A and B are shown apart, each in its own frame.
Chain A
Amino acid sequence: MKNYLFNRRLYADWAAGLNQFYATHRGHYRVYAANQAFNSELTKSKIKLKNSYTVFMKRGSPSYYYEGVILEKAVYTAVDNHYSGKPVSTLDRAFLPEVISFKLD
């Protein structure tokens, strides 16, 4: 993620969703703020970065790129269902972010 100190109203909904997901999946995920080096790596992979984004990565699984600010918990749930091997439902498919070729080495 980058530029997360944005508009206060947007921040409230984003922060609440991320914190709730993290609190209920503690130990399964690590959350990092994107830095310049990470942005450069993504750019090398031909990903056009927006001001705010989230990348989900798991070794041996596809990576997902969410453009913009995540405001729906269903996005986290859809990725988590996929990463934890649960069946991906129709609802999950509606919220799954874009698959990117960028991999966690």
Chain B
Amino acid sequence: MELQRGDNDNAAIWGGTSAVRAPEFTVMALQSRLHSIGLYSDSLDGIFGPNTEKALKIFQWCLKHAVYVMKEDMLADYSPSVDTELNGRCGSSTRSMLETWFENQYISTGDLVRVSTAELSNIQLSPMFAQIGGPVVDRGEFLIARAAAPMIGHMNAFASELDLVVSINQSLRILGSEVRGAVVKPATRSQHYIGHAVDCNLVDGDNWNTTSDFRNKTQTANADRFILAMRNAGYRWGGDFSRTDPPHFDSQIDAQSFDYDAKVFLNQKQISAGEPIEKLPVQ
């Protein structure tokens, strides 16, 4: 029997059908487990609705993709080993892993890492860079998803070869932070919300290679070479978008995919809940 959306302890519906006897593992027990691992914050009402389903799908996603978990408020490496289907239903394998996480006192977290510009020869934070991440982020550090950290390594290497300085204006963006006092409606989906994008200027001597430079085609030859190298390494440059966004580079995750939804939830929670963030040396 798999617990699934529509199941309801109060109405005695489990596994999609009415039953006389309650199963050993009820919807409320499932919600309680999901709550304990930091994925479910709605009421423990025994009703398997969309929020329970989403929390369960994120758990299944973690089983395949998580890099870290929290244990006793500390970060621990996590090695996904179970190839659980991402279906939002709680069968025996998902339940078994839920119990494993519960017994190990694992709490879900994101894959954000702190990167220090002090360790990067050709990357700096722009004077306009707004530091986020609260007390866990030191001066001179910025946040990026670990999955996107190789992009920073490539940027530094290409900038070093071309004698450019990458001046970062923004990396991770906090979902909803601009709403208070916003003059325009903030975007709902962006690679910045998952830590997969940076906005930057490619400083070449006195030339900041601004958006206006790219629009007027007055950017430097080294900026063009840098962009070509980034493209060849598999990254997206905003200047290639249909409406150009020259400061933007990203290591894209399809914003319509569940991968994106899971990463938004986990990485934004990592900031909003003040979860620890590892400092990662970028090669």
Mark A residues whose CB is within 8 Å of B.
Answer: 4, 6-16, 18-20, 22-23, 26, 31, 66-74, 77, 90-91, 94-95, 97
- How far, in whole Å, are A18 and B180 apart by their CA atoms in the complex? 13
Q: Identify whether the interface residues of A are mostly helix, strand, loop, or mixed.
A: helix
Q: Which one, A10, A26, A66, A68, contacts B241 given CB within 8 A? A: A10
Interface centre among A8, A26, A77 (most CB of B within 10 A): A8
- How far, in whole Å, are A67 and B210 apart by their CA atoms in the complex? 12
A71–B248 CB distance below 8 A: yes
B187–A74 CB distance below 8 A: no
A16–B128 CB distance below 8 A: no
- How far, in whole Å, are A77 and B127 apart by their CA atoms in the complex? 10
Nearest-Cβ distance from residue A87 to partner chain B, whole angstroms: 13
Across the two chains, which residue of chain B brings its CB closest to A91? B127
Nearest-Cβ distance from residue A47 to partner chain B, whole angstroms: 16
Across the two chains, which residue of chain B brings its CB closest to A74? B128
B208–A91 CB distance below 8 A: yes
B128–A18 CB distance below 8 A: no
- How far, in whole Å, are A71 and B208 apart by their CA atoms in the complex? 14
A68–B181 CB distance below 8 A: no
B248–A19 CB distance below 8 A: no
Q: Does B245 contact A (CB under 8 A)?
A: yes
- How far, in whole Å, are A4 and B126 apart by their CA atoms in the complex? 26
Q: Which one, B184, B187, B215, contacts A8 given CB within 8 A? A: B187
